[in-house]
Amino acid sequence: MTGPVERGMHMEHNKSFGACLFIDVDNFKGVNNTYGHDEGDRILINVGRIFMQNTRDRDIVIRFGGDEFVIWMYKVDSIKAAEDTAKRILKTSYDEAGTGLSIGIAMVEPGEKYYDAVIKRADEARYQAKAEGKGRYAVHRDAAEE
C-alpha cells in the first residue's frame, strides 16, 4: 500500500474509463475502544491484504487515513467490473477478516482531471452504503445512470 493521493492531484494520463472505490471498516472506532489498537491494527493489515488479493495488478490500493482506503481501478469500461470487485472484497472481508466494510463506487470519465472530485463522489456513495445498513456497497448516482 502507498501513501494517500494528494488532494487536487491531476490525473495526467486518464485516457480511459476507470473507477474509484472508497472503503471504510464498519464500526472500527468501537473495535479500537473495546479490543484495543493492536486489534484495530490487525484488522487494517488483514483488510489491506484482502484488497490486494482482490484487485488487479494495475489497480492501486491506498490507505487514505484511519480506517479509510481508496482503490483506483484503471481501464474499467463498465460499472459492473467495479461492482464485481466490491462484491468480492465484501465477501472476503467477512469470511477471512470477520469484519464488515462500506464501499462507495464512482466512475472516472476519460479526460477527468482531478482525483478529489472522483473521491468526493465515491465518498458520497460510501455514506449511502452506510445509511442503507453498512456491510455493502453503493454506486454514485451518476455512475448508476450509465
The pTM is what?
0.85
Arithmetic mean of pLDDT, 89-110 = 90
24 is catalytic: no
- Do the beta carbons of residue 80 and residue 42 sit within 8 Å? no
- C-alpha dihedral over 119, 125, 131, 134, to 10 degrees? -80
Which DSSP helix (H) or strand (E) runs through 143?
Answer: helix 141-144
Check residue 67 and give its pLDDT: 92
Check residue 14 and give its pLDDT: 54
Check residue 74 and give its pLDDT: 85
Q: How far apart are CA 1 and CA 13, in angstroms?
A: 21
Check residue 6 and give its pLDDT: 44
Q: How far apart are CA 71 and CA 119, in angstroms?
A: 10
Sign of CA dihedral 121, 87, 73, 31: positive
DSSP 6: P
pLDDT band, very low/low/confident/very high, at 21 (cuts 50, 70, 90): very high
Work out the percent of the chain whose per-residue pLDDT is above 70.
86
Which DSSP helix (H) or strand (E) runs through 20?
Answer: strand 18-25
Residue among 26, 59, 67, 123 flagged as catalytic = 67
pLDDT band, very low/low/confident/very high, at 16 (cuts 50, 70, 90): low
pLDDT band, very low/low/confident/very high, at 95 (cuts 50, 70, 90): confident
- Measure Cα distances from 97 to 5, 47, 51, 109 in Å: 26, 7, 12, 33
All structural domains of the chain, each given as residue ranges with its CATH number in brackets, are: 18-144 (3.30.70.270)
Q: What is the pLDDT of residues 58-81, one digit of tens each?
A: 888 988 888 999 999 988 878 999
Nine-digit cell at 86? 466490491
Where helices occur in 5-132 by DSSP H, the ranges are: 28-35, 37-53, 79-92, 115-131
Higher pLDDT, 16 or 48: 48
